[in-house]
Structures are given as C-alpha cells and as structure tokens.
C-alpha cells in the first residue's frame, strides 16, 4: 500500500472520528426535550467511529486516527518511524476539516457558533477539574488505550475482534474522563475544535498534545520491554 493511500485513509478516518464524536457532543448530547444522547451516547459515538473505521481502513493504514497512537506504535517497533510525521499531519488535517464542517452545520439553523466540544481544564473542564488532574487523567487514559491496542492486535489475541475491543475501550475511556477534560487522548481530536474555538481552548491545547504523547511513550516503552521477555 502506498504512503499516499495510507495518509488519505488516516485523513478520512480522523475526519470521521471528530465529526462523529464531537458532532454527537455538540449536536445531540442535549437535543430536544429529554431526547439528547447524553454522556453515554457521546462516549459510544466516539467508540463507534473507531470500530467502523477500523473495519473500513484498518487494512490500508492500520487505522491509527491519533498522533499518540502513532507515536506509541513507533516506540513499540510496530510502525515505521519514517511515516510518523506524515501520519500526524494527515490526522491533524482530518480533524481540522471535520471541525470546519461541524462549525458550518452548527450555524446552519441561524444559531451563533460557540463551541466544538474542545478539551480543557480548570474553568474549561466540564467538571471544573484542575490542570494536574487533567494531566494525570489524560496520561493514564492514553496509556490504557495503547495497552488495549497492543493486546487486541497481538498475534496471540482472538482474531477479528480487535476493532471491537479498541472501540469499546475508547468508549469506556470517555465514560470515565468526559467530566474531567471532555476526553482527548488524541492530540488531533483536540486540535481541530481548539483552532476554531480559539480563546481558552487554544491556550490549553498544549496539555492535550503533551499528556497523550507521554502516555503513549510510556506504553510503547513498556511494550518493548515486556515483549522481549515473552
């Protein structure tokens, strides 16, 4: 598979993740009179984007959809380092494109644009959680996400179930951490909404690059150490 096809798949996959996940958060979470999908629905939406794309493009690009995942896989020697930066660029551009489309949809009924489900801490945290809490949660959640990915895609794991395990893992991560940071574990997912929202969302974006990548680095190193002992 050519790199161009892989990058195209990552762009489309990350576009779908942000459109489906963030879109459900801003369009459907509190829709109507008690008809919104709420935290559970938004969490499931993010998981479903990964499940559907894993089946759709997993055979093309590996379906990373996330710079932290690409970094973790690179450190684990499961991904070619020369493709790392192009993957991150494609993922980030896909997220930004989805954010632009969401902004257009949100203003399509005459409403004023306000938010795109950006991530944050302190006053920008859904539950008012401070920076250190947000940092720890994002590191741990990303670490666990990579652990799930490594385990589910192992040659020793049951065949054909990796997309479900990874998608359900992401759903659980959102159920835990939406109240804290609105859940990132994905720098690209954070970048698209933050760029369009600006203000505090953009000011706090650094944490949602730093923490997921730190979590992925720890998971990648741990995988290399433990896999040598198998």
Instruction: Quote the pLDDT of residue 103.
Output: 93
Provide the mean pLDDT of the chain: 94
Interior CA angle at 182 toward 39 and 48, to 5°? 55
- Structural domain count of the chain: 1
Instruction: Quote the pLDDT of residue 229.
Output: 59
Would you give the distance in Å from CA 32 to the centre of its chain?
Answer: 27
pLDDT band per the 50, 70, 90 thresholds, residue 1: confident
| Interval 159-168 mean pLDDT | 94
- Residue 179 in domain: yes
Which structural domain, as residue segments, surrounds residue 192? 3-107+119-227
- Residue 114 in domain: no
- Residue 112 in domain: no
Instruction: List pLDDT tens digits, range 47-83.
Output: 999 999 999 999 999 999 999 999 999 999 999 999 9
CATH of the domain at 191: 1.20.1080.10
| Interval 141-154 mean pLDDT | 96
| Interval 193-218 mean pLDDT | 97
Which residues, at least 6 apart from 103, have a Cβ–Cβ distance to it below 8 Å? 113, 116, 196
Largest CA distance in the chain: 60
């Amino acid at each position: 598979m050519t790199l161009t096809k892989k990058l195209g798949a990552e762009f489309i996959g990350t576009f779908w993740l942000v459109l489906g996940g963030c879109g459900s958060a801003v369009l459907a979470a509190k829709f109507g009179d008690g008809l919104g999908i709420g935290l559970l629905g938004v969490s499931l939406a993010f998981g479903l984007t990964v499940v559907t794309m894993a089946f759709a493009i997993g055979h093309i690009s590996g379906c990373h959809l996330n710079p932290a995942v690409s970094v973790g896989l690179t450190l684990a020697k499961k991904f070619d380092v020369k493709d790392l930066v192009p993957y991150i660029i494609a993922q980030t551009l896909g997220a930004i494109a989805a954010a632009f489309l969401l902004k257009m949809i949100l203003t399509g009924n005459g409403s004023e644009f306000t938010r795109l489900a950006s991530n944050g801490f302190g006053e920008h945290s859904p539950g008012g959680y401070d920076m250190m809490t947000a940092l720890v949660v994002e590191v741990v959640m990303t670490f666990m996400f990579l652990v799930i990915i490594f385990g589910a895609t192992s040659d020793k794991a049951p065949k054909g179930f990796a997309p479900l395990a990874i998608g359900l893992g992401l759903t659980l991560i959102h159920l835990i951490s939406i109240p804290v940071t609105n859940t990132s574990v994905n720098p690209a997912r954070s970048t698209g909404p933050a760029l369009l929202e600006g203000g505090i969302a953009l000011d706090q974006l650094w944490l949602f690059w730093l923490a997921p990548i730190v979590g992925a680095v720890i998971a990648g190193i741990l995988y290399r150490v433990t896999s040598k002992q198998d």
